Amino acid sequence: MSATLGLLPARPGRFAAAVKRQGALIALAVLVIFGTLRYGERFATGYNVQSVLADDAKYALVALGMSFVIMTGGIDLSVGSVAALGGVVAASLSGAGLLPAMAAAVAVGAAAGLVNGVLIARYRLAPFLVTLATMLSVRGLALHLSGAASVLAAPHGTFTAFGTWSLLGVPVPFWIALALFGAGALALHRTGFGRNVLATGGNEDAARLMGLPVDRTKAAVYVLSGALSGAAGAFLGAQTSSVDTAAGQGWELSAIAAVVVGGTLLTGGVGTVFGTLVGVVLLQLIFNMIVFENSRGELTISSYWESVIRGAFLLGVVLLQVRLTRRRRAG
């Protein structure tokens, strides 16, 4: 007996849902088109694109790690501090070359992430408070290691050169970020680990019952987040040739905003890696456009508008998500 169980929603509904899912991408496209039309070539090509993408690379790494954490239903407030720590370590070791410095930053970040992971997964402490505590502690550690002063990277050498390399017109740091995002997307969609992440966030009790390694998965995403944040700090050091005491401040909340704008639900269980990348680029682009708008001379938008606009974007996304969940609940 054939059963057409499940009322399939009408076709238009599916289209609308797809549009909503790619909302961030559409907004990004609109902004890029608008910017190109308004500011001309200087905006859309060459130097500007390069510097925007170079800038975005480190935020993208942090946001990637944050995505995985949020998809398990958790949160990581320590990413900014871990980035600072990674930056300090990398800059200090920059004399030894790019690879050792980068590796050290990643290792240190992973270690910090491990602390988070163990406290959260094994001891079942609240992620918000645990990462709040590590945020404070790790920054203290970073300040201690740097002697509460900026750390200058070795001026000549592969480390600082890394910040300037580009391939096919796109900065290498961004290529790396792109590659990592690709790997992340692949892991999310095609590996057991990725599916476990989504299952854990979707319904942790059910996931446990299904025999999935929930605790291990949770710990792993925090380690991943830490490692990526450490690397992001190293990127910062390479690109600006120094890491100051305020490095990484506010990165955690920017990352969360990017993740949410990109379409990942804060409650976990749903998410897209690609969406986060779009979110990062979108939010940073706003700042870039303000700079251009000012240079036109007609309207002076101070950079403070950037935060207001970012906040407005977040509000829009939030209200959209509310409408979506309401419909789902009623339906």
Partner 1 sequence: MSSEPLLRMRGIDKDFAGVPALSGVDMTVAPGEVRALIGQNGAGKSTLIKVLTGVHRRTGGRIRFAGRDVDFGSPQEAQRAGIAPIYQEVNLIPYRSVAENVCIGRAPRRFGLLDWRAVNAEARERLAALGVHVDVTRPLHTYPIATQQMTAIARALAFDARLVIMDEPTSSLAEHEVGILLDVIRRLRDAGVAVVFVSHRLDELYAVADTITVLRDGRTVADAPIAELSKYELVSAMLGRELAESGRRGHRTDAAAEPVVLEASGLRRPPALNGSSVSVRRGEVVGLAGLLGSGRSETARAIFGADPPRGGEVRVAGEPAAFAAPRDAIRARIGFCPEDRKAEGIIPELSVRENLTLALLPRLTRRGIVDRARQREIVARFVDRLGIKLAGPDQKIGELSGGNQQKVLLARWLCTRPDLLILDEPTRGIDVGAKQEIRDLIGELADDGLSVLLISSEIEELVTGCDRVLVLRDGATVAEFSGAGISEDAILHAMAEGVSAGVRTEGGTDD
Partner 2 sequence: MTDLTVGRSPEPAAPARARREWYGIAGRYGAGLLLLVLFAYNAAFTPNFLTPTALLDVQLRQAAPVTIVALGMALVIALAGIDLSVGSVMAVAGQVGALSLVAGLDPVPAIVLALLASAACGAFNGVLVARYGVQPIIATLILFIAGRGIAQLLSDGALISFRSPDFQFLGLGRIAGIPMPVVLMVLVAAALWFVVRHTGYGRTLPATGGNEPAARLAGVRTGRVKLVAYVTCGVLAGLAGLAAIAITSASDANNVGLGVELQAIAAVAISGTPLSGGRITVGGTFVGAVTLVLLRNTLVAHGIPTEIAQIVTGLVIVLALFLQRRGR
Which residues contact partner 2 by CB under 8 A? Answer: 75, 119, 123-126, 128-130, 132-144, 148, 205, 208-209, 253, 256-257, 260, 266-267, 302, 304-308, 310-312, 314-315, 318-319, 322
Maximum Cα interatomic distance, the chain, rounded to a whole number of Å: 75
| Minimum gap (Å) between residue 314 Cβ and partner 2 | 5
Evaluate whether 120 touches 218 at the Cβ level (below 8 Å): yes
- Selection from partner 1, partner 2, none that 269 binds (CB < 5 to 8 A by kind) is partner 1
Q: Which of 11, 12, 18, 211 binds partner 1 (CB under 8 A)?
A: 211
Evaluate whether 174 touches 53 at the Cβ level (below 8 Å): yes
Distance of alpha carbon 242 from alpha carbon 257, whole angstroms: 26
Q: Which is nearer to partner 2, 26 or 209 (CB)?
A: 209
- Selection from partner 1, partner 2, none that 137 binds (CB < 5 to 8 A by kind) is partner 2
| Main-chain phi, psi angles of 100, to 5 degrees | -60, -40
203 near partner 1, judged by CB under 8 A: yes
Distance of alpha carbon 249 from alpha carbon 82, whole angstroms: 10
Distance of alpha carbon 191 from alpha carbon 214, whole angstroms: 15
Q: Which is nearer to partner 2, 33 or 318 (CB)?
A: 318
Q: Which of residues 252-271 bind partner 1 (CB under 8 A)?
A: 269-270
- Selection from partner 2, partner 1, none that 5 binds (CB < 5 to 8 A by kind) is partner 1
Q: Which of residues 312-331 bind partner 1 (CB under 8 A)?
A: 328
| Minimum gap (Å) between residue 222 Cβ and partner 2 | 14
Residues with Cβ within 8 Å of 193's Cβ and at least 6 positions away in sequence, in order, are: 187, 217, 220
Q: Which of 126, 161, 206, 320 binds partner 1 (CB under 8 A)?
A: 206
12 near partner 1, judged by CB under 8 A: no
- Residue at 49: amino acid letter: V
| Main-chain phi, psi angles of 294, to 5 degrees | -65, -40
Specify the DSSP element, H or E, that contains 166: strand 166-167
* Token pair belonging to 105: 């930053």
Binding site for partner 1 (CB under 8 A): 1-9, 186, 189-192, 195, 198-199, 202-203, 205-212, 269-270, 328
